[in-house]
Each structure stands twice: as structure tokens, then as C-alpha cells.
Amino acid sequence: MSENRFDPSQADGRWQHAWEAAQSFKADSNSPKPKSYVLEMFPYPSGRIHIGHVRNYTMGDVLARYKRMRGYEVLHPMGWDAFGMPAENAAMEKGVHPGGWTRENIANMKAQLKRLGFALDWSREIATCEPDYYGQEQALFLDLYAAGLVYRKESAVNWDPVDQTVLANEQVIDGRGWRSGALVEKRKLSQWFLKITDFAQDLLDGLGNLENWPDKVKLMQENWIGKSQGLQFRFTLSNGEPLEVYTTRPDTIFGASFVAVAADHPIAQGVAAGNPAAADFIALCKQGGTTAAELETADKLGFDTGIIAKHPFTGVDLPLYIANFVLMDYGTGAIMAVPGHDQRDFDFATKYGLPILRVVAESAAEADKPFAGEAEAGDGVIVNSGFIDGMSVAQAKAAIIGRAESEGWGQGKTVWRLRDWGVSRQRYWGTPIPFIHCGACGIVPVPKDQLPVVLPEDVDFATPGNPLLRHPTWKHVDCPTCGGKAERETDTLDTFVDSSWYFLRFASQPADRPFDPEELAKWLPVEQYIGGIEHAILHLLYARFWTRALQHIGKIGFAEPFASLFTQGMVTHETYSRVDAQNGQPVYFSPAEVDRGGDGAVLVADGAPVEIGRVIKMSKSKKNVVDPDEIVARYGADAVRWFMLSDSPPERDLPWSEAGIEGCARFVQRLWRLFGLYDTAASGEDKALDRKTHQTVAAVAEDIEALSFNKAVARIYELASAIDKAAPSASRSAAIRTILLLASPMMPHLAEEAWAQAGHAGLVADAAWPEVDPALLVEDEVTIAVQVKGKLRDTLTVAKGLPQPELEALALASEKVQRSLDGAQVRKVIVVPDRLVNIVA
């Protein structure tokens, strides 16, 4: 075996077929083994897997294979998050059907994943665009509706008047539709919502129990849920109306210098009715995004209504503005603005020449300290605030709330940043919302025996807007209650709904219901979930909500879907570009187009230099992408998998390099040669190698369980070096068999090939993890530092626990020590057992 090179072009496919024929990775729910559910976030079928997918799925695959070796029945499935806008975009741009485009992409990506040898249970494959999946989703949606967790109401949306469709905030660019370029309007449409706010406190409290989630993810969710306690109170307005406002910082009330309302606040609407300029301003506010995040970065604009609000303590007149950065659906749709201690208010006050007052300072001595060009939102002591001067922020909040409540003009209140989840999408390629609109009966749920409500195939994308809305027959049905003429709901569900329960369907797939609760109880919650940090808020929060909602209505018996969460880093690459002489813009080139040698790089096509840019996230626009198919074809699946695990800690970004992947390919061949030294007839003992082998087994197991794959890789390198240096013996052959097993979750094709050629029965995929002798984990030798006058002069390797007199004698007998002493008399010898001998002369 050692005389030949390992040929991945032959071995990879051979062993992938062997695993498939043996159904090696098919999970058995009835197995008596302990269960382990390992899951990576399922991909959108865009057409090609990217190198980030490879890293993500390799990590999960190593853990799943390791768990099998440790005696677990492992569920490690794969599926496709298959609904969404890209498929409709393809339909509009290429004239293809979204279903055909999606299913073709699934087939391509599935073939790519199989070429990497992932230990996946393909028998449980799901695609969210198939009726057998989304029909069950419709059934769950109806269950939540019956429980009062689904409702319909009017809500503000971004409306593209040319494409005749609702746009997500991300699709609004500089106030215009990303496709049509038309000025976007804010409209109110009837939308479907899920009552996620009913679970806000529970979702917040639950974060405290997620010990195996990254702190940064929990903090992001905590901020998104956004529990805040403050004061809701009334201003008296000069027009005689009261104005309710909410503030999380009642301690800063003496710093208020204006009041503002949202563009759709009743007071703003009332002003606009008699003031064309106000109406024009409100129309301007309707352009652009609708979320707090978008408004945070937008230019702060206002319209002075001429109305005055009376300050409840000082009696000072505060001007009332209509402002584009105030949201109607947060708090009361009106704010008390304190420019000195809120950056949005600061920007607005600066723009319109309004007072900026300091009411919080680091100390009372800094009460008159000017602002350095921005608001100061931090903690401190209250200043310039009458009866609360000198109080801490917390004390002042309590004092102001107490005064407002006692005088009857306000009350303490808790509010949440979290809004109910709007799930309506005016799209074709999504799960049809299973309701019928009847003129006589109102909104009627589709009877469950009529599910799934299947998308029609004969749709037209030539005309902008939702094809379901203008379909000649699909939406026209009889009312299931009265039998009269009615229409289907033409909105489809947000694709985040599809990914909020897919992990349940992987575990149980009966044909007549979404899942079997008894089957779920065997597998859930997911033991290890792996995916990108970009899903830290919405997907994970929605999945946590959906699980709680199903528990609430008695469908399942657990609240948290994912016991452990790991967010892996990205794969990065430097960029290559030239500036176009005509337009001055950079033109980017892919790594395959560039010859990278020494300190520079040249374009292969013309041999002229290109500029080497920063190492950044791989992206199609910068062309700094690496095609997984190309590198697998060139180096083999195992070298690619090994590179994904090497060098960088898995939570950090991994810079791609040709030198790195080539080094991994060389190590594959090095291990292959090492496996060729396996000799079952060898005899003799190598105690040091035995100890190294068993210590490596224990350490690699610990590293894989901690997802510290780079550390596990480093330990396998160390053991390979120790085996290389060892003389032939039974210990060396045992070490070779062991390193083969240790490497098998990471390099499964190489391991199978070596396992078979060594004459072992069965597949290494079914082999057990090596046993560890606890006695060999304990070192029986130690290295002693020998110092003369405090300086290191020698080291000694001795038996652990060697008595002090013997240790002292060995140190004094050292030639290096004697040379250092140079005849000087030894006055004292200090011995630290198993660590140090210090000779004082």
C-alpha cells in the first residue's frame, strides 16, 4: 500500500457508493442506542454550494461520524429551504418556472454534497417547496389560528407602484424599488401576523437556560426582544388635546426640548388635513423603509406643526414636530425628545436649531460641560433637573415615575421592541396561507381535509405583481361554510416560517400529520445545531417561538429547539483587480484567472500585474470565490475537508490559500504511506508511543466534543510525527490503526481505503472509537529544569516522583552544571519536586 499514492478520484466515489448501498447513515428511531441529533442549517438551493457550506457541513459531519463511533444512533439529515424571492426573480428574468428552477438546483447541490462524502440520512430529505411539507405547515398554521396565535390586521408596508408588490426593507434602496427604480410608497394592507409578542417574556427568560449557546447570540436576541421599563405620560397641547408619550429615560425629562409624533399619528393626520405643506411632508415620510433600523440611519427630517406641548415640571413650551424617525408601532407613536442624551434627537435638534440641554453628567461638577458634537447616552449623576439633582439614573427614574403616578399624569410601563411577526408576502413562490374570504361568512379556515392548498403551476410572471392575485381560476372557490362564491387568500407565508419547524419534520415524517410527538421525543431538542451568525436573530428567534407555540397548544413537550448552538466563521480570500482605464472602476478577477507567485500576482490571460486586495468574505461581486467542485476534483474530498478543519478555530474566519490546501493534500498522502507500515505480525513494545497514542485518543475526543476541530487536527499531526519516528513494533502498528480511526471522521474516504487494504472487516464508518487505557494518560516521566544561580543550565528527564536526594544528585552530576559552577562551592540546593532544581553557589 505504501508504494502507491492514494487516488481520491477513484476512492471517493467507491466509498460513497458503499455507504449508500449499506445505508450506513440512515437513522433508526427504534434503535436501543442513545440518540444524538446533529444538524447544520439547511441551505437555500441557489444552484451551487459555496465553500462556506463546505466548512459548515464538514464540521457537523465530523461530529456526526464521531458520535456514531461512540455508540450513538445519530440523526444527521439534509434538506432545502426552497421557497423565496430568488426563484421568482429567475422566473421573471429567465422565463422559467420557479419550481423547475428550484428542483434543478436541488439536484445539482445534492450531487455536490454527495461528492464530499457527508454522512447524511438522505432518506429524510425534505424540500419546503413540496406540498407534502408545506401542506403540513398549513395544518400547523391553522392550529395556531385556532389557539388565537394568528390574526389579520392592517399594517404599513413598502409598496412598489410599478411592480405592484410589497417590498422588504432590504429591497428599498434610497427610497426606490430595487427592481423598478420607482419611488416606494408606504401603504396600509391587511396582513397576517403571528403573536410572537405573547411569548416575549418567555423567549427572554429562556435565554438564561441556553448554557451551550454563544453569549453574543443570546445578547443579540435579548436586544431584539428589547424589554424596557419606563414612563408613559401625557403632555397638554396648545390645541387642547392630550398627547401620550412613552420614554425609557424618564430621568432625563428635564432635558426635553421638543416633542415629535410619527407621520401616521392622528395628530399629524389632523394637521395635514388643513395644511398642504404638512401633507406633503407626510407623503415624503412614506418613502423609504419602515423599520427602526432603517430610520436610524436615515436623514432626520421634521415638520413644525405650530402646536406647543407644556412641560409637566417646568411649564416650558416645547414645539411639536412631525418627524420621520418616529415609529407609530413603537410605544405611542410619539416621543419626548432629549437631544443631549439621544443621538437621533441630537441630530434633529442640531438640524433645526433646537436647545440641547445636559441633564446627566459624570459628576455634579460637570453640569455645564458642553457636548462634543454628539449625544451622551451613558450613566452618571443627574444635573440641571430640579428635585432629582444629584440622584443616580436609577434613582431618578423611580422618582419621576413616582411623581407622575402620584399626580395622575403618567404611570410606569414595560414595553418591548419585539413586534408581532408579519408573515404575509404578496408572492407566488411560498406556502399559500390556508384561508378563504367569503362575503357572507368573513374569513374562513380551509378545512384540514382539503389540505394542502397547492400552488397552481400555470402562472404568468410577465406582468408585475403577485401571479396568484390575477390567476383566472385558482383563487375562486366555494366557501366551505355556506357554499357561496368565495376567494382564496392570495398571500403566501414568509419563508422564515418554513425554517421555523423543519428540524421537527426531519425527526418525524408521517403522511397524515406534521409529526409524531412520540418520535420527536426520541430526538429533540437538537443536540448540536451549527450555522452562520447572520441567522442569530430572526431564524433562531422564530424557531424558538414556533417551538414554544407548539408546546403551548399541546403538540410537543419541549420549548427550546436547539440544546447547543455553534456559529462558525466564514471562509475568506484575497481579491484581485485592476482599475478600468475608461470609467476608473475596479474590475475583479477570480483566483482561477490569476497566477499568484511570490509577492505579486498576474492575470493568466495577458501576464500583466493585478492588484492584490484585502482578505475578505468570499462574494460573487468581488469574484474571490473558490469553486468546491474544482478543488474536490483537483485534491480530493478528504484534503478539502481537512483544510476546512485545520489552522483557524472554527468560530473564526478561515483564510483560503492554495498553499494551505496543497499542504493538506500532502498530509493525506503522508498518512497513506503511514498506513502502509501497518503490520499485524510486528512485536515489541514502545511504552512512550503507547502513552502518546492513548493521550491523543483522549484529547481528540475532547476536542471534537468541544468542536475545537483545529486542535484535534494538530494532535493528529503530532501523533503522525511520533509514529514516523518510531521503530517497527506492535506498539507502532497499534498506533497506526488508532490514527486511522481518529482521522476517519475527518478523512473518511482515505480511512475506508486503508481499513480495507489492511484487511479489517466491515466499514470503518461502523467501527468503534478507540478505547483509552486510563493508566497511560498519566505521565510517569517529567522534565526537570536545572538552574545555577537562577539561570537555566540543563534539563533532566526523570521518573515522576523521584525522591529529592536522588534528584539533587543527578543535577549536581550534570556536566553542564559542573561547567557552570567552574569549581565554585555549592552553598544550597533548592528542589521543587517534579519541576525544578536550583543550585546556589
Check whether 98 has a pLDDT greater than 60. Answer: yes
Q: What is the rounded CA–CA span in Å between residue 813 and residue 807? A: 10
Report, as an integer, the average pLDDT of 401-406: 96
Q: Can you give the pLDDT at residue 2?
A: 45
Q: What is the rounded CA–CA span in Å between residue 81 and residue 39? A: 14
Q: Indicate the fold that domain 137-195+421-495 takes in CATH.
A: Methionyl-trna Synthetase; domain 2 (2.170.220)
Query: What tens digit of pLDDT does each residue of 252-301 get?
Result: 999 999 999 999 999 999 999 999 999 999 988 877 555 555 555 678 99
Check whether 1 has a pLDDT greater than 50. Answer: no
List C-alpha distances in Å: 116 to 11, 111, 259, 667, 670.
12, 9, 60, 18, 20
List C-alpha distances in Å: 413 to 228, 250, 397.
9, 11, 12
610-614's contacts with Cβ under 8 Å and 24+ in sequence apart are 610/576, 610/577, 610/578, 611/576, 611/577, 611/578, 611/579, 612/574, 612/575, 612/576, 613/574, 613/575, 613/576, 613/577, 614/574, 614/575
List C-alpha distances in Å: 526 to 385, 490, 522.
53, 34, 10
Q: Scanning the structure block, which residue is given the C-alpha cell 475596479?
A: 586
Q: What is the rounded CA–CA span in Å between residue 568 and residue 361? A: 41
Neighbours of 234 (CB within 10 A): 17
Neighbours of 78 (CB within 10 A): 22
Q: What is the rounded CA–CA span in Å between residue 324 and residue 329? A: 13
Task: Please list the alpha-helical segments (H only) found in 276-341.
Answer: 276-285, 292-297
What integer best gives the mean pLDDT of the chain? 93
Q: Where are the domains of the chain?
A: 137-195+421-495, 227-415, 675-777, 781-840
Which residue spans within 385-527 are E strands per DSSP?
410-416, 421-422, 424-425, 435-438, 442-445, 476-478, 485-488, 492-493
Residue 529 backbone phi and psi in degrees, to 5: -110, 135
Beta-carbon contacts of residue 563 (< 8 Å; ≥ 6 apart): 212, 525, 526, 527, 528
Beta-carbon contacts of residue 347 (< 8 Å; ≥ 6 apart): 300
Q: In 3D, which of 118, 8, 11 has the Cα closest to residue 63? A: 118
pTM for this predicted structure: 0.84
Residue 830, classed as helix, strand or coil, is strand
Instruction: Tell the burial category of 421 from Cβ atoms under 10 Å away from its Cβ (0-12, 13-18, 19+).
Output: buried
Q: Can you give the pLDDT at residue 296?
A: 59
Q: What is the rounded CA–CA span in Å between residue 707 and residue 649? A: 9
Report, as an integer, the average pLDDT of 300-306: 96
Q: In 3D, which of 337, 255, 340, 343 has the Cα closest to residue 304? A: 337
Residue 246, strand partner residues: 232
Query: What tens digit of pLDDT does each residue of 214-235 get?
Result: 999 999 999 999 998 899 999 9
Residue 795, classed as helix, strand or coil, is strand
Query: What tens digit of pLDDT does each residue of 719-756 get?
Result: 999 999 999 999 999 999 999 999 999 999 999 999 99
Find the range with the poorest average confidence among 121-125, 206-210, 559-563, 789-793.
Answer: 789-793
pLDDT category of residue 467 using cuts at 50, 70 and 90: very high
The three-point CA angle 228-231-232 to 5° equals 110
Q: What is the rounded CA–CA span in Å between residue 45 and residue 32? A: 35
| Lookup: cell for 325 | 424617525
**Residues 675-777, CATH architecture:** Orthogonal Bundle (1.10)
Can you state the percent helix, strand and coil of the chain, rounding each to 5? 40, 25, 40
Residue 453: DSSP 8-state: -
Q: What is the rounded CA–CA span in Å between residue 233 and residue 252? A: 14
Q: What is the rounded CA–CA span in Å between residue 665 and residue 686? A: 30
Q: Can you give the pLDDT at residue 176?
A: 82
| CA atoms within 13 A of residue 316's CA, in its CB half-sphere | 12
Query: What tens digit of pLDDT does each residue of 645-681 get?
Result: 998 899 999 998 888 999 999 999 999 999 999 988 8
Q: Indicate the fold that domain 227-415 takes in CATH.
A: Isoleucyl-tRNA Synthetase; domain 2 (3.90.740)
Report, as an integer, the average pLDDT of 373-396: 95
Q: Can you give the pLDDT at residue 289?
A: 55
Q: Can you give the pLDDT at residue 294?
A: 56
Q: What class, spelled out in words, does domain 781-840 have in CATH?
A: alpha beta
Residue 87, classed as helix, strand or coil, is helix
pLDDT category of residue 622 using cuts at 50, 70 and 90: confident
Higher pLDDT, 349 or 789: 349
Q: Can you give the pLDDT at residue 241?
A: 92
Check whether 841 has a pLDDT greater than 90. Answer: no
Instruction: Tell the burial category of 192 from Cβ atoms under 10 Å away from its Cβ (0-12, 13-18, 19+).
Output: buried
